[in-house]
Copies of this chain bind each other. A is one copy, B any other.
């Protein structure tokens, strides 16, 4: 039996319990509706993460496992071509049945089977896949909240996922740029700890000297950009970004709305006044890039970001703080690198030198998305803390705005 058995077992139980806690405030209807093709219903997240254990672990390693419902493979496979046909993504929100209660029963069924499997038949290979499944579920926990925010933002009633007392608006410290020497560095994940395939292998990269902002761009700074006509000046924008801006009519970050002369924004606690000191959230790569150009700065590369982040302690405003909104930077030094908001980098999501996809069905996890996306780093206020590490590469298309994404500036030194 693997020496990592107890750790994985604890992680499994904690992860599975957390999903249920996160879904608790949702009605059956809340958990069923899909607000756009890019988003998925909460019910679907709850089921898909269970299907992942069923398809990747139980059906492969547990000989006598009886699937909860043979139709669920079709309904809850996300994009694994090797695992058969699946319900089309834009139609996930039409599944009023199975009900939320059935999905909970499905989760219980899978949990019982995995826990029995732990007791009876645990092996190294299964353990690795269970660990992958836990990270996978952590990722979907963030997506569940991200997608619920999008859903509730479509509702003219602007409902709250969770009521919270009004936040004390902090005061943002002036931004400072910290110098880094660069050089021939080693980046990427080593073999000792868990990492997704796309974080590997550890490899050498040459980095010129650079400087990084010591905190994220704030809402106050973003309002200055808006007021200076930043959304109206094509010379600041990438060509494709400008076309998108025109087509979508962007004039402010996603979820911002103007009411009686003030900016408000939709949050998981309903509609709130925009806090000037807090970091700007829900901006696309296109907006982040235009903002940086307006400042005479640029976005960091992922190598620059990772070099700076590597020595830092893993601390920040993650899901566990319960805040679920980014907070103003406090203290000194390089802040907000972890948590608060995913930080857009200027690096397209490409394979590292000598990259090899994971073996088996998990090979589709990341590799087939290495096109048309940009890397984001550092996790957010809705990322479970254990899910994040300095080498973690998140990725989204440059027009995506519904993620908890923000901006850190960089410059050549």
Query: Which residues of A approach B to under 8 Å, CB–CB?
Result: 27-33, 35, 71, 74-75, 79, 81-82, 87, 91, 93-100, 151, 154-157, 159, 184, 203-206, 208, 234-235, 237-242, 285-286, 346-348, 350-351, 353-354, 364, 368-372, 398, 412
Copies in the complex: 4
Q: Determine whether the beta carbon of B159 is less than 8 Å from that of A97.
A: yes
Contact of A155 among B27, B94, B157 (CB under 8 A): B94
Given A71-B157, A208-B354, 10 more pairs with CB closer than 8 A = A29-B32, A29-B99, A33-B93, A82-B235, A93-B93, A95-B155, A237-B368, A347-B350, A348-B348, A348-B350
Given A71-B156, A238-B368, check contact A33 B96 (CB 8 Å). yes
**A307 to B154 alpha-carbon distance, docked (Å):** 49
Residues of chain B within 8 A (CB-CB) of A96 are 27, 29-30, 32-33, 151, 155, 159
Given A32-B33, A33-B32, A412-B354, check contact A369 B95 (CB 8 Å). no
**A368 to B236 alpha-carbon distance, docked (Å):** 9
Residues of chain B within 8 A (CB-CB) of A28 are 27-29
Residues of chain B within 8 A (CB-CB) of A370 are 238
A311 to nearest B CB, angstroms? 21
A70 to nearest B CB, angstroms? 11
Contact of A398 among B99, B347, B372 (CB under 8 A): B372
The residue in A95, A208, A238, A372 that gathers the most chain B C-beta atoms within 10 A of its C-beta is: A372
A195 to nearest B CB, angstroms? 20
Residues of chain B within 8 A (CB-CB) of A354 are 208, 412
**A288 to B285 alpha-carbon distance, docked (Å):** 27
Residues of chain B within 8 A (CB-CB) of A242 are 81, 368
Residues of chain B within 8 A (CB-CB) of A203 are 208
Residues of chain B within 8 A (CB-CB) of A350 are 346-348
Nearest chain-B residue to A154 (Cβ)?
B94
A298 to nearest B CB, angstroms? 8
**A368 to B154 alpha-carbon distance, docked (Å):** 29
**A39 to B346 alpha-carbon distance, docked (Å):** 29
**A96 to B202 alpha-carbon distance, docked (Å):** 46
Q: Determine whether the beta carbon of A98 is less than 8 Å from that of B205.
A: no
